Structure 1
């Protein structure tokens, strides 16, 4: 403790100031300087200046009391210790003083120089300890806040790392799944190719051998029959090869959407005329259109889509059946529908309809690679369209394609 200690006595009775001054002068070994004020407001003003080391506060201060003064001063940030001077010596006064912020209290008229010196010394040391504790608490809170922030940042980094690892794991799983699908695709390709190529090649080989036996004019009819068989087999081989080539180009990302503006009705009629010559005997393609005739779509991709759907409609329908092609153009969309009267698709097979090389249970005896609808779906997606279908067993199937309209 410093050799010179400044004390402020706050008491509205000058006689108490004189008594307190005399008691302080009797304290040996210490240098005390006593100031005095009798005003509540002046006392608060002096406390705010923080020039004193300790405050002696009388319980009664005219219209106010010492507890009120201590409470207000502490609330304003006063850190020097307060000692309450009271004429009452009871537990209630003690507790009120402590709650207000006083560090000690003395009963007026009973304390001597030793009691006052001990109380001043104790209060100053106690105040210093409290200040140190508050400082340590503040430092601790700061460190806790800093550690909390560091922990939050560490957690954020960990979460980011976990997210990156999760995304990497997802990518790896996707790559593995794609590799698995590719291996399955290759396996199905080998199986399908060996089967689908064998049949037309056998037809070509056998028909070519038989043709060699027909040498007379009378046998021209038989010879032409086998020539037609060879042409049909070669045509089937071309379709199969085109399907495989289309899948390869799609997988390599070499299929692009290159739209152009054209008359959809004229275009559809050309496709119908071309396909009418290739459908089964007695089958007829009926075309109907509604709305505007001009569209902006990829003409080649659309032709491939229509040829594939119309070919399927003919393939899976009996002779003499009707195939319906309709187009409907609105300001928002271009809608194309292909409807047949064929064998339909079993309900349990419909979820796998667009899977490469998939063949429905009722189509295994009909020639095909199982690639056509997958190619159609991929072409439609490249053109930013959607493909839907409805099918009922032995009643037929309807495919509906919707493209956004930009013309």
Structure 2
């Protein structure tokens, strides 16, 4: 917007020039221009920085300093109002220096008239106002660009998040489908043997009932029980994996009398041990430990049942628990078939069966489930094994497990 009254500051070391300029402005319509004057470089710079004027008339000679120096310094310090250079002669070099310094215009004092002075002032002020408007528009444009960029970045971030969530969901869906396919394949193989054993034993029991051979009847009843237990293990493993994949396993920690709890389980599992196998339980350290009983029971059951399954008749299986200030250590050591060095890298993979265990019934899910349960409890599992000599599994759970 063009001001109704233009405030002019003249910076000139010659007071006579000030009077002449004032007279020229007096010839113009009254009240349109207000002229002030300072005689030195320093006073001029001080007044410019106060930003109280619309335009500045700067003489080329200011004592030991020059007008183009003043213009350069004023612009450097943030002056946005027009600065017009005045000189006493037609000096092209002074003109070029002033323009390079950022002067809005250049006027010769000897050829100065009221009209040329007014035109220079009005055009300089109008141009300065246009520059300010452009700067304001640019600043507003930059602000809007930043806002749009921020919105775009947020949208891209949300899109990336959604994409990752979708990829995760698709991967989970694929894993579940793979799990179903592997289960169908595994079940068709693993269910066939115990079901066939059950059917054949039932047929034989009927025959032995007719012959009243109770010993052979009991033998086949035990065979049926063993087959049913095998089927139950398979179903429990699959259900456990399904719950873990769907995030349905919730921890409910409680204080447990560990020696009593484990001893009860060991007594129960002695009933499914092979002939002559002995489960030996030892406890060390504190009596109580805080954990989720169901999850811990799954871990212990899977490790001990594996030890039973992969050990021959008459072998010992050692189960040791140790409670200390740092947490709980569970160790299950058998004298079984062991795990080859090649297979040890994959022992916790889902559905993995070691090369020397393919003829032993199982799903290949047990150790994978154990590893996931141990992770849920914030612990770690490790093992050492040697072919033909047996395996030691060790579970470390932290103190105050929650």
TM range (shorter): 0.7 to 0.9
CA-atom RMSD in angstroms? 4.3
Question: What is the rounded CA distance, in whole Å, between the counterparts of 1:129 and 1:68 in structure 2?
Answer: 24
2:84 corresponds to: 82
Q: Shift of residue 195 of structure 1?
A: 1.4
Match of 1:135 in 2: 132
Q: Is the CA contact 1:386–1:403 (under 8 Å) kept in the aligned structure 2?
A: yes
Residue 234 to residue 141, structure 1, CA distance change in 2 (3 Å): same
Is 1:343–1:393's contact at 8 Å kept on the other side of the alignment? yes
Residue 113 of structure 2 aligns to a residue in which SS?
helix
Separation in 1, partners of 2:144, 2:370: 60
**Contact 2:253-2:292 within 8 A present in 1 as well:** yes
Matched residue, 2:386:
392
Residue 239 (structure 1) shift: 3.9
Q: How big is the shift at 1:118?
A: 6.1
Corresponding residue number in structure 2 for 1:91: 92
The alpha-carbon deviation at position 244 of structure 1 amounts to: 0.7
Give ranges in structure 1 of 5+ residues lacking alignment: none
State the 1:371 CA deviation: 4.4
**What pairs up with 1:236-315 in 2 under 5 angstroms?**
236-245=227-236, 247-248=238-239, 251-252=242-243, 257-276=251-270, 278-299=272-293, 301-315=295-309
Consecutive unaligned residues of structure 2, counting only runs of 5 or more, are none
Local SS of the residue matching 2:191: helix
Cα distance in 1 for partners of 2:252, 2:12 equals 99
Q: How does 1:328-407 map to 2 (within 5 A)?
A: 328-355=322-349, 357-381=351-375, 383-406=377-400
Aligned to 2:192: 195
Alignment check: 8 A CA contact 1:185 1:356 kept: no
Residue 338 of structure 2: SS of its match in structure 1?
coil
Q: Structure 1 residue 394: deviation in Å? A: 2.0
Instruction: Name whichever of 227-236 and 300-309 sits farther off.
Output: 300-309
Q: CA deviation at 1:262?
A: 4.0
Partners of 2:198 and 2:223 within 8 A in 1: no
Q: Could you tell me which residue of structure 2 aligns to residue 231 of structure 1? A: 222
1:339 to partner: Cα distance: 0.9
Task: Give, in angstroms, the shift of residue 199 of structure 1.
Answer: 3.3
SS in 1 for 2:162: helix
CA–CA distance in 1 between the matches of 2:194 and 2:228?
Answer: 7
**Distance in 2 between residues matched to 1:98 and 1:50, nearest whole Å:** 23
More displaced stretch, 327-336 vs 46-55 = 46-55
State the Cα distance separating 1:333 from its structure 2 match. 1.1
Size of the aligned set, in residue pairs, is 391
Structure number, greater radius of gyration: 1
- Contact kept in structure 1, 2:45 and 2:70, CA below 8 Å: yes
Aligned residue runs from structure 1 range 166-205, under 5 A = 166-205=163-202
Residue pair 2:352, 2:365 contacting (<8 A) in 1 also: yes
2 CA distance for matches of 1:10 and 1:356? 89
